[in-house]
Structures are given as C-alpha cells and as structure tokens.
Amino acid sequence: MRWTPGGRSGNLEDRRGMSIGRGGLGLGGILLLGILSLVFHRNFFSVDAGSDHPSVNQSDTARDAREEPTVQFISFVLDDAQNNWHRVFNQAGRQYRDAKLVLFRDVVNSGCGMAESATGPFYCPADEKIYIDLGFFDELKQRFGAPGEFAQAYVLTHEIGHHVQTLLGIDQQVRRARQSRPDLGNALSVKTELQADCLSGVWAHSTQERNLLEKGDVESALNAAAAIGDDRVQRMSRGTVSPETFTHGSSAQRVHWFKQGMQQGTVSACNTFQ
C-alpha cells in the first residue's frame, strides 16, 4: 500500500507498557489480575493503587522499537479510513465522529470492561474506542498465514466499521433485537460482523479509487478475511465445525462481504440484515 511513514495519529492512545492499578477493583477484578499474572508471568499488582503510569522495562522498550513501523502504518490507516468516513457521512448529510485507537499489551481496562490479548482486536461502543494488542498481527501472520500490511489494515478498518454501525444506530437496533429474540443472538452477531467486513471493503474501495493499492494488497486482505472465518478457526482449534455456533461468519461469507463493499463502495451495499 502506498503511504508515507513518519507520523502518528492524534486519535492514537498508546497504553503499551502501562500496568493497571488496583483502584476501584472489586474482588472479581483482583482475582482476574491474579489469574492474568499467572498466565502472562507478569505482576499486574506491581503498581500503586490507581496508577496508570508506564513501568520501565527494557524488553518493552525494545518491543516498542520493533513495533514502531506498524504503529505508524496503522496510524495512517486510522486517519485515512476516518477521513473517508467523514466524506461519506457528509455526503449523506450526517456527521461522523472519530473513534480512538488504543494500543495495549496483555490486558486492558476498556469502557466495556477488562479484556486480555486473547480476546483479539475489539471495538467498545461505550467509549467509542478500538483496542488492539499489536501481537495479534504476529498471530495473524504466523498462526493464520495472513501476512502483509493490507491484512493489518483490514483488521483495523473492520473495527472502524463497528464504530460506523454505532454512529448509524445499527448497533443499538441489534441490541434491541437480541433482547426480544435471544434465540437469534448468534445469527445477529454474524450479520453484524459481516457488515463490518463490508464496511471495511468500502474503505478499500476508496483506496483503489485513489490509486493507493499495490500488487497483492487485495489478496492480502481477502486472505486475512478468510483466515479468521469461524469455520477455519473452529477447524484449527478443535478439528470440527459447528455452523450453529458461528459469531463472525464463515471464511467464504467474510470474503464475499469484503468484496461486496470494495466493489460497490457504498454503505447501502452492506445490508447484511436483509
């Protein structure tokens, strides 16, 4: 992808290397920190209560340096994607509000509660922030066989797609539908995730129009979409596939809806709920 390195987004919040304080944590939170300390072999109780200051750690400093090119790239994608959504919303007579991107390691306290890296990248509508542990991109490359910058861009713009759903009121409609029809919870989740894939494709359409794509970029994104389909993830983790338990959609569905957004370039083309 054609981009210029060297900058960081003003919407980037870097919490890598920050420890989570004990202030305000109940018994459940304290137990969670204890479990995470055992799992990650790091002392999450090491900072004074309520502290969110970075701890000095040479390995973290070295890792920061290694990750800096990725930080700059996703900063570019974050700003480019959101600038495009400002344009799309303005054309529709609406106002777009920027999401924030939080970088963290191991565990993070979000507006939606505590989360660990194993959760994967996620969007929290309560604070309108996207949370990513950059180690996920290593897993995407090594475990799922989906390398490349545009694969990373797909992951980030998928989460921005969830922010777009929140601003359009789609997220709230889905929540109400789940309350009235709990039996449709998984099906609604799949439709929501596939729409976010399509909205990621809408951004990709704009990069194609602006001649930002290079050879292999589209294939990289499609490979990433296929790599994290529910069927492939289930087959890798337990050897069997249970479609009734899907929450994000199959590899074929994810690829289809990303392509749909990229080919059409409009929000109206992303109605996965029909």
> Which range, 2-11, 193-202, 221-230, has the best average confidence (pLDDT)?
193-202
- Give percent of the chain above pLDDT 90: 73
Q: Which residues contact 44 (CB under 8 A, 6 or more apart)?
A: 19, 20, 33, 36, 37, 107
Q: Give me the helix-helix angle, 135-142 and 149-168, nearest 10°.
A: 120
SS3 state of residue 132: strand
107 vs 41, residue with greater confidence: 107
The answer to whether the beta carbons of residues 232 and 226 sit under 8 Å apart is yes
Q: Is 167 exposed, middle or buried (0-12, 13-18, 19+ CB in 10 A)?
A: middle
Q: How many Å apart are CA 199 and CA 166, to the nearest integer?
A: 13
Contact (CB, 8 A) for 191 and 261: no
User: For residue 49, what pLDDT is reported?
Assistant: 38
d(CA 112, CA 162): 14
pLDDT tens digits, 80-137: 999 999 999 999 999 999 999 999 999 999 999 999 998 899 999 999 999 999 999 9
Place of tokens 């529709």: 92
**Considering only CA atoms, which of 106, 123, 84, 109 is closest in space to residue 201?**
84
- Establish how many alpha carbons lie within 13 A of residue 273's alpha carbon, considering only the half-sphere containing its beta carbon: 13
- pLDDT for 6 equals 87
Mean pLDDT is highest, among 43-52, 96-105, 214-223, for 96-105
The average confidence (pLDDT) of the chain is 88
pLDDT on residue 189: 96
Higher pLDDT among residues 162 and 144, named by residue: 162
Residue 225 near residue 253, CB atoms below 8 Å: no
Q: What is the DSSP string of 172-241?
A: HHHHHHHHH-GGGHHHHHHHHHHHHHHHHHHHHHHHHHTT---TTHHHHHHHHHHHT-HHHHHHHHHS--
Locate 69 and state its tokens.
Answer: 């090119």
Whether residue 43 is predicted with pLDDT greater than 80 in this model: the reply is no
Element (H, E) at 123: strand 122-124
The stretch 28-44 carries a mean pLDDT of 57
pTM check: above 0.75:
yes
